[in-house]
Chains A and B, each alone.
Chain A
């Protein structure tokens, strides 16, 4: 078990190294001198030189890269060119809505997807199964931002049940925050629940064909016990994997949904940074998002230990 944990922890290092390098390379992908591009055609040579210094691109490439890793190791993501404040601060300021939205959407996707998959697997081949799977297939074909727009149209514009857009921070009351996040979370999570339902169904179907399920039924265990205690526990490993991946997809999706619903989160931060070519902010946001994703997947990998004893003895 210790080897398993150690192996998983060590595997994070090269991935994060590549992530950091990709973030570094981004600035240098732009054709021409990034500082001149950011400063615009009317900037003086002096201003461009200052900007080059601020971006740290006034040194040879290998020194820039070395400094970049060194700064990251110290938690320093640099200073935003336009916001004129440390990138870490800007990100922390905007993290609340994005994390709440992503977590709510993930919960929703799991709470809808897993039971749907189980019901479908129990009624394999029947009308309910076919109906649910057609719905799931349709669900995976709707882009979340489109679903968001349609929900605004129906539930905010036509029915008036929810605000059209906007976000109420937690300070303004948890209930009001929750209300402002209902539509965005549904738009984001519903589509993902379709995928989770399909994976859960197929994992459950695989497990329900196993001998130990037959043995359980043969010795007269109640069907619910067979399904929920014995089958579900075994089927949950692939499901958990897809939930981990879902979190990344939803974190990416949140960027778009924030734009649809005017939510001032990390998505709005990175889009405004892209439009102003504020590279330190872009680099900071993608680094943090990738790190969160890597850590969530690490947590998922470690959760296998609790679910599947076979891994503990590897």
Chain B
């Protein structure tokens, strides 16, 4: 992983000498420099990771351009043309109140990307806070990690459902509930890394030089914990997309009129015999997104976290 070594992935001739430059901030280089350089190489080397990256990119672009791409207003009712099959007017058909399914699926990508992104931000922020505190301050470790263990004792979707019961159905609350549910995953990983990093000589040296705790955590510990967090973030993104779809499908996620993939599937379930397109198109959207994120996450893991190579957890269904 060292930025000063030979180019990652290229074999080194026996007995060869590599001239190295001395990095100014080794820990930062190690955490951020190598992945940045190796990332394009990884995409070139592993086609499957490239497929993942492309799938994710397509979903993000669709989400960003939904208002431009959507041929109809996703909320516009047209009861006269309800439950129409795919046709030139409505490529993906219409739903039970005549709304255009293509437009709703495109806008659904937007909901998924927003939820996925915000849940990652929330759970990473909270998980980093808890994990750094637990790993660095031994006195806090016991209490904080027991709380995290307790939260992880609930199947994720069940805890999310229970939280939604208290918070009420809305997009903001879906993000909040899923963010709380996935925080322990990040916290555990960060704590594990901190326990290793805090014992390293340069942290001890920083102590000896009189650096403050905040300074040491921010400058030396945090950057060295980021690699596994970045990998885990892609899986949490996928789990959040799944979680939102599942919550909305169950009727406890975003309000029913919002065009989210889970909501479209929930309506589709009622008309599965007459209108299978209500299930097939949003379903394809979800599968493509999750597959893309899983492939991309696996590739990132191979790059950033070689120890875990092959031990893919991926995003598990129903989170």
- Measured between beta carbons, the chain B residues less than 8 angstroms from A147 are 317
Tier of interface size on chain A = 35 or more
Q: What is the CA–CA distance of A21 and B147 in the complex, to the nearest angstrom?
A: 10
A140 engages B316 (CB within 8 Å): yes
Q: What is the CA–CA distance of A278 and B12 in the complex, to the nearest angstrom?
A: 65
Nearest CB of B to A124, in Å: 10
Do A146 and B287 contact each other (CB < 8 Å), given the known contacts A256-B157, A271-B252, A293-B155? yes
B291 engages A195 (CB within 8 Å): no
B276 engages A145 (CB within 8 Å): no
- A interface majority secondary structure: helix
**Stretch of B25-33, B219-227, B267-275 that contacts chain A:** B267-275
Do A255 and B165 contact each other (CB < 8 Å), given the known contacts A18-B150, A143-B286, A143-B318? no
B283 engages A146 (CB within 8 Å): yes
Q: What is the CA–CA distance of A202 and B163 in the complex, to the nearest angstrom?
A: 36
B163 engages A140 (CB within 8 Å): no
| Proximity bits, B139-171, A CB within 8 Å = 1, else 0 | 000000011011101111111011111111000
Q: Is A299 an interface residue (CB 8 A)?
A: no
A282 engages B150 (CB within 8 Å): no
Q: What is the CA–CA distance of A137 and B317 in the complex, to the nearest angstrom?
A: 12
Q: What is the CA–CA distance of A293 and B149 in the complex, to the nearest angstrom?
A: 12
Nearest CB of B to A295, in Å: 10
Nearest CB of B to A91, in Å: 13
Do A255 and B287 contact each other (CB < 8 Å), given the known contacts A140-B294, A273-B165, A275-B251? no
Do A137 and B291 contact each other (CB < 8 Å), given the known contacts A149-B272, A255-B161? yes
Among B147, B286, B314, B317: residue with most chain A CB under 10 A:
B317
A282 engages B165 (CB within 8 Å): yes
Q: What is the CA–CA distance of A145 and B263 in the complex, to the nearest angstrom?
A: 13
Pick the contact of A260 from B157, B269, B317 — CB < 8 Å? B269
Pick the contact of A274 from B146, B164, B279 — CB < 8 Å? B164
- Measured between beta carbons, the chain A residues less than 8 angstroms from B314 are 137, 140-141, 195, 198
Pick the contact of A249 from B268, B269, B316 — CB < 8 Å? B316
Among B272, B295, B298: residue with most chain A CB under 10 A:
B272
B268's nearest neighbour on chain A, judged by CB, is A149
A29's nearest neighbour on chain B, judged by CB, is B166
Pick the contact of A29 from B163, B245, B269, B294 — CB < 8 Å? B163
Among B153, B157, B163, B286: residue with most chain A CB under 10 A:
B153
Do A30 and B166 contact each other (CB < 8 Å), given the known contacts A22-B154, A153-B272, A255-B250? yes
A253 engages B317 (CB within 8 Å): yes
Pick the contact of A26 from B163, B168, B252, B279 — CB < 8 Å? B163
* Residues 201 to 239 of chain B near chain A (Cβ within 8 Å): none
B279 engages A270 (CB within 8 Å): no
B287 engages A141 (CB within 8 Å): yes
Nearest CB of A to B4, in Å: 30
B249 engages A271 (CB within 8 Å): no
Q: Is A57 an interface residue (CB 8 A)?
A: no
A153 engages B276 (CB within 8 Å): yes
Nearest CB of A to B244, in Å: 11
A15 engages B165 (CB within 8 Å): no
Q: What is the CA–CA distance of A294 and B146 in the complex, to the nearest angstrom?
A: 13
* Residues 216 to 252 of chain A near chain B (Cβ within 8 Å): 248-252
Pick the contact of A259 from B151, B250, B311 — CB < 8 Å? B250
Tier of interface size on chain B = 35 or more
- Measured between beta carbons, the chain B residues less than 8 angstroms from A141 are 287, 290-291, 294, 314-315
Q: What is the CA–CA distance of A259 and B242 in the complex, to the nearest angstrom?
A: 16
Pick the contact of A252 from B146, B158, B272, B291 — CB < 8 Å? B158
- B interface majority secondary structure: helix
Q: What is the CA–CA distance of A150 and B164 in the complex, to the nearest angstrom?
A: 27
B282's nearest neighbour on chain A, judged by CB, is A146
Pick the contact of B151 from A22, A248, A289 — CB < 8 Å? A22
Do A144 and B317 contact each other (CB < 8 Å), given the known contacts A29-B163, A152-B272? yes
Q: Is A17 an interface residue (CB 8 A)?
A: yes
B157 engages A26 (CB within 8 Å): no
Nearest CB of A to B84, in Å: 18
B158 engages A15 (CB within 8 Å): no
A149 engages B311 (CB within 8 Å): no
| Proximity bits, A163-194, B CB within 8 Å = 1, else 0 | 00000000000000000000000000001100
| Proximity bits, A127-143, B CB within 8 Å = 1, else 0 | 00000000001101111
A274 engages B291 (CB within 8 Å): no
Nearest CB of A to B283, in Å: 5
B276 engages A192 (CB within 8 Å): no
Nearest CB of A to B297, in Å: 11
A290 engages B157 (CB within 8 Å): no
Residues of chain A having any CB pair with chain B under 8 Å? 14-19, 21-23, 26-27, 29-31, 137-138, 140-147, 149-150, 152-153, 157, 191-192, 195, 198-199, 201-202, 205, 248-253, 255-256, 259-260, 270-271, 273-275, 277, 279, 282-283, 285-286, 289-290, 293-294
- 12 A-B contacts (beta carbon < 8 Å): A18-B151, A31-B168, A137-B294, A140-B312, A145-B318, A147-B317, A202-B311, A252-B158, A256-B250, A259-B249, A271-B250, A277-B165
5 A-B pairs closest in CB distance: A18-B150, A252-B155, A253-B318, A141-B291, A29-B166
